[in-house]
């Protein structure tokens, strides 16, 4: 590895952060949820923008549903934006376009059913025009006509658009299934809290059931509470929405005509890791931990909320670019994706990477497709061969009793 003096770098971590701690959706509900959070901004009370009803996500005829997670693109102004923390031999000609090319390579290699962008999609303070940067950042997914969704990070709203405006812009882009906020929640903190349902194989007995549920939450940017420094966190209003949504989905799944004994597995995506990510050491996780755990300086209890709900089997975040591990805590896998973008801080010689998750269905006695039997993951490196590493089983129906 080259000496540090010859490496293109920046002041590490979350650049410019000097904190001391590191659809249109048809309303069918008869009862509207009323949430009463503390310190909810006036912006959070505004009605979400209208959008086209997105296509339904469902498992393919091969019985699989594959998700590509892209964390921390830090996109700015395209070819004029230099790469950071790369080897001297990589500097010339390296830009945001390398990030776009990596997405294209991943799409071609993995052919995902769905792409999730987990925040810091753009780095606002380096982007001349946030809207143009967002368009360019998501362009490979849009061009591939693959359904995709995004959540916000702490840097998305630091440019010419506020966090609220960024999320509204994302919701208006093609092929996105992102939502501004749930229509049934009158008051909720943040922008981009929503859930998506993944149906069974078309023509199967579970075609009209959500056999895999996906939660997306806004983990905020920075604390706005006097006396509490550091990053943001998932607020009580968001947790109340999650609890109501999880309970509703579980009731539906365990009701006729396909009565199930337990809830459908669920995955949760947001940007800033929970404090519980710090619970692991090298003996009990798969992957690498080279960064500190830059969670909020307070624990808002969302891990316990998910544990009590019982359906979330894995959580996926970004934020700490040099962490790419998964570790299981009390039955929930806590996973980083690892840094993806070339204008994001990294480590020279340590490849940018992406996480892939595949949920697989079981075969029924009659030979058709049933419910989810397993959830697996691996990562791919942006090297010559898109090397796959750290394959592991995150959850298995056969061991579900151990994951409650």
Q: Tell me the pLDDT tens digit for each residue of 49-64.
A: 554 445 799 999 999 9
pLDDT digits (tens, 9 = 90+) for 221-257: 999 999 999 999 999 999 999 999 999 999 999 999 8
Secondary structure (H, E, C), 245-258:
HHHHHHHHHCCCCC
The answer, yes or no, to whether residue 281 has pLDDT greater than 70, is yes
Residue 283: per-residue pLDDT:
86
Residue 186: per-residue pLDDT:
83
Domains and CATH numbers, the chain: 64-396 (3.60.21.10)
- Judge contact between 119 and 319, C-beta under 8 A: yes
Of the listed ranges 93-97, 154-158, 162-166, 260-264, the least confidently predicted one is 260-264
Between these two residues, 206 and 7, which has the higher pLDDT value?
206
Residue 21: per-residue pLDDT:
36
Q: How far is CA 14 from the centre of its chain?
A: 18
Residue 138 CA to residue 340 CA, distance in Å, equals: 13
- Residues 106-128: what's their mean pLDDT? 97
The model's pTM is: 0.88
Between these two residues, 401 and 218, which has the higher pLDDT value?
218
Tell me the average pLDDT of the chain: 88
Both structure tokens of 301: 């209890």
CA torsion 356→361→362→364, rounded to 10°? -170
- Residues 167-187: what's their mean pLDDT? 95
Interior/surface letters 221-258, b for 16+ CB within 10 angstroms, e for the rest: bebeeeeeebbbbbbbbbbbbbebbbeebbeebeeeee
The answer, yes or no, to whether residue 395 has pLDDT greater than 80, is yes
């Amino acid at each position: 590895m080259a000496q540090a003096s010859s490496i293109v770098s920046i002041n590490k971590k979350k650049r410019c952060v000097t904190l001391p701690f590191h659809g249109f959706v048809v309303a069918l509900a008869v009862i509207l949820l009323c949430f009463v959070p503390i310190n909810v901004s006036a912006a959070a009370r505004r009605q979400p923008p209208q959008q086209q009803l997105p296509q339904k996500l469902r498992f393919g005829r091969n019985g699989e549903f594959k998700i590509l997670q892209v964390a921390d693109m830090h996109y700015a102004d395209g070819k004029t934006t230099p790469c950071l923390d790369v080897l001297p031999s990589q500097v010339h000609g390296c830009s945001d376009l390398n990030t776009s090319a990596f997405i294209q390579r991943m799409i071609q290699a993995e052919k995902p059913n769905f792409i999730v962008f987990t925040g810091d999609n753009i780095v606002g303070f380096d982007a001349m025009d946030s809207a143009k940067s967002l368009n360019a950042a998501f362009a490979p997914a849009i061009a591939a006509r693959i359904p995709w969704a995004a959540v916000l990070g702490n840097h998305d709203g630091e440019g010419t658009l506020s966090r609220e405006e960024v999320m509204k812009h994302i919701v208006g882009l093609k092929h996105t299934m992102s939502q501004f906020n749930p229509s049934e929640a009158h008051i909720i903190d943040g922008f981009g809290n929503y859930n998506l349902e993944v149906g069974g194989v078309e023509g199967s007995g579970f075609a009209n059931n959500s056999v895999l549920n996906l939660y997306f939450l806004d983990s905020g940017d920075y604390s706005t509470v006097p006396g509490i420094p550091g990053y943001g966190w998932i607020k009580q209003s968001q947790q109340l929405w999650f609890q109501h949504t999880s309970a509703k989905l579980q009731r539906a799944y365990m009701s006729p005509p396909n009565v199930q004994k337990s809830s459908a597995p669920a995955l949760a995506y947001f940007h800033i890791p929970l404090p519980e990510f710090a619970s692991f050491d090298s003996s009990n996780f798969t992957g690498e931990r080279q960064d500190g755990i830059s969670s909020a300086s307070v624990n808002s209890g969302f891990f316990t909320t998910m544990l009590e709900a019982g359906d979330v089997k894995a959580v996926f975040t970004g934020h700490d670019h040099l962490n790419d591990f998964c570790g299981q805590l009390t039955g929930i896998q806590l996973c980083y994706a690892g840094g993806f973008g070339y204008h994001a801080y990294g480590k020279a010689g340590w490849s940018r990477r992406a996480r892939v998750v595949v949920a697989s269905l079981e075969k029924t006695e009659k030979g058709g497709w049933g419910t989810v039997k397993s959830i697996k993951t691996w990562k791919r490196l942006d090297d010559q061969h898109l090397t796959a590493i750290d394959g592991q089983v995150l959850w298995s129906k056969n061991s579900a009793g151990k994951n409650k």
